[in-house]
A and B are shown apart, each in its own frame.
Chain A
Amino acid sequence: MDLEKVSENIYKIPKQGEMKVPAKVYASEEILEEMKEDSALEQVKNMAKLPGIEKHAIMMPDGHQGYGFPIGGVAAFDNKTGIISPGGIGFDINCGIRVLKTNLTSAEIKGKEEQLANILSQKIPHGLGKGGYINTNKEDIKQILEKGVEWMHENNHATKNDIECCEENGKLPGKPGKVPEKAIKRGVNQVGSLGSGNHFLEIQRVTDVFNKEKAEAYGLEEDQIIVMIHSGSRGLGHQVCTHYLREFEEEYPEIFESLEEKNLMYAPLGDQLAEDYREAMYAAANYAWANRQGLTEAVRDCFHRIFDETELELLYDVCHNIAKEEKHDVDGEEKELLVHRKGATRAMPAGRPEVPEVYKDVGQPVLIPGSMGTHSHILSGGQKSLDLSFGSTAHGAGRLKSRTQAKQDYWGEDVQKELEREGIIIKANSGSTIAEEAPGVYKDIDQVIEVSDKLGIGQKVARMKPIINIKG
């Protein structure tokens, strides 16, 4: 494959064959070698072939093989003449991260970790078929699909700050009527549930502050206890994606047949079906924000059982599987684009309208989880992100090994004991779940963050280490 080094951490696959734009890969030399081991680089080239793609197809430093788009893929399409692709967003619409700040230090929770872990593990629904923390009926779900966190606030499940510090204030222009009935049925019982796979809830300690001024603006300091939540739109979002993938396939058989990678299926923007999917996808995104808000209520209730006066304030909530309408500069001209981020986090710098008022001078908080037992990071959107990545950066460590390989290489109980020695309590459904998510099966998160920081797309603010991990 033609891969040119442009500068440190920037590689380019020049426009060739059916590619409409070049592809850019943001990686260190070591990360790039890892990327060559699966088909992620081939997938970023496929993205560059899609109609209406603008400027460049991008892969983030945590990029790896996905379906259609690679995980860590960013592509922006002209909002009128481009396309929308469910595979460019992911099955888990608005899978994302939220961080809650506490006013506790590690000394204040010392000795109570096991108790807290047990309460959280018991109260927070995780895995298949455990229901949701918030009781909802079908009518509630329709309201959630339209209003997102606003509905949670109206029903006393959210504070005003929870709305203000959520990306898009927890609400995109979704239309419940465009969400298939089956998806709504799946959504009824899952508001406030973690799910499975790599989803988790972690109690973390801030170990390093890299930028004091920004950390202060985000309300972070060393040794502070914070809570990180990773979940998405659950069965409802998956059903929306599956439903529209099949609808697209039936409506556009000629496009489907022409695609080597069927998961790259798309619809031309402006077509009714594309608009239907966009509105259903936004509605599912609203559901995901309500879900993470439901989990927030569960966390607050659990903490208050042990720590009466503790405040758990939302720092920020940001999604990493989404397509959104944004204005960006393309060749000196401001254009309205539909930016697809699949396993990539929005990282808007100070001055952009998307940054919440409270953070407008320092830039948007970017929340990036590490693998189980390793560091997670909080960055701030960097000025270079607009030019290099349509205001985006990485979303995590990125998997290196398959789950089957992980289970051959690690024994869940051993991993659990090793982490316990480091002071990390893991609560998981089974030993194999722990083995599948062992720190060694992921890329080095610190290296991924270094690339983001050096490129200036998302800049280091603080780093955390887990104390308790509740695995989905």
Chain B
Amino acid sequence: MSYKILDHTADAKFRATGETKEEALSEAVKAVAEIVGSDPEAGTVRRQIEVESENTESLIFDFLGELIFLQDLEDVAVCQTEKLELKEEIDGPHRIKATVWTQPITPGMNLLDIKAPTYNEMLVDYENEWIIEAVLDI
């Protein structure tokens, strides 16, 4: 499992991988942390996130949106997940329940404010491991 920031002309794209979708999603959170400029290995404040969507792509879109919302609302920067549960039902709802480590934003910190998730170039694939790619509008 790992993550990588990929090339994108105007915005920020990442690739997150893992043996399970859960692992790949956890790596996606670290990728977001790196894009923001916070520490993907740190965090002092725990927050709970729950999202429910109609399919995998929309679930990723909503999950990323929720991370961005959390940052704006609570003046924190996302770091990593402690626990991430994924439930996907065929023809039913798809859910993520995650405990996310964040760090409070202090005056000296210089962090990037991500605007929004996008569907642009979004990829969810399995090739020896789960691969998630997404572009964030910055």
Interface residues of A (CB under 8 A from B): 38, 64-67, 71, 91-92, 127-131, 182, 185-186, 189-190, 195-197, 235, 238-239, 241-242, 246, 249-250, 262-263, 399-405, 429-430, 433, 472
Contacts and interface: CB of A to CB of B under 8 A. Distances in A.
Counting chain B residues whose Cβ lies within 8 A of the other chain, the interface size class is: 35 or more
Contacts of B72: 129, 186, 189-190, 235
Interface in B97-138: 105, 107, 109-120, 122, 135, 137-138
Contacts of A64: 9-10
A262 B135 CA distance: 13
A238 B76 CA distance: 18
19 contacts: A64-B10, A65-B10, A91-B118, A91-B137, A127-B110, A127-B111, A128-B77, A128-B112, A129-B76, A182-B69, A186-B72, A197-B113, A235-B68, A238-B115, A246-B62, A263-B119, A404-B5, A429-B110, A430-B37
Nearest to A66: B10
Contacts of A429: 37, 110-112
Given A67-B137, A402-B7, A404-B8, A196 B113 contact: yes
A371 to B, nearest CB: 13
Contacts of B37: 429-430
Nearest to B61: A246
Interface of B: 5-12, 36-37, 54, 58, 61-62, 65, 68-69, 71-73, 75-77, 105, 107, 109-120, 122, 135, 137-138
A228 to B, nearest CB: 20
10 closest A-B pairs (Cβ-Cβ)?
Answer: A429-B110, A129-B105, A128-B111, A196-B113, A262-B119, A128-B113, A91-B116, A235-B72, A238-B116, A129-B75
A472 B111 CA distance: 10
A267 to B, nearest CB: 16
A41 B54 CA distance: 32
Contacts of B11: 403
A430 B110 contact: yes
Contact of B117 (A71, A196, A242, A401): A242
A92 B7 contact: no
B116 A129 contact: no
B10 to A, nearest CB: 5
A239 B75 CA distance: 16
B10 A195 contact: no
Contacts of B10: 64-66, 71, 399, 402
A124 to B, nearest CB: 13
Contacts of A128: 36, 71, 77, 105, 111-114
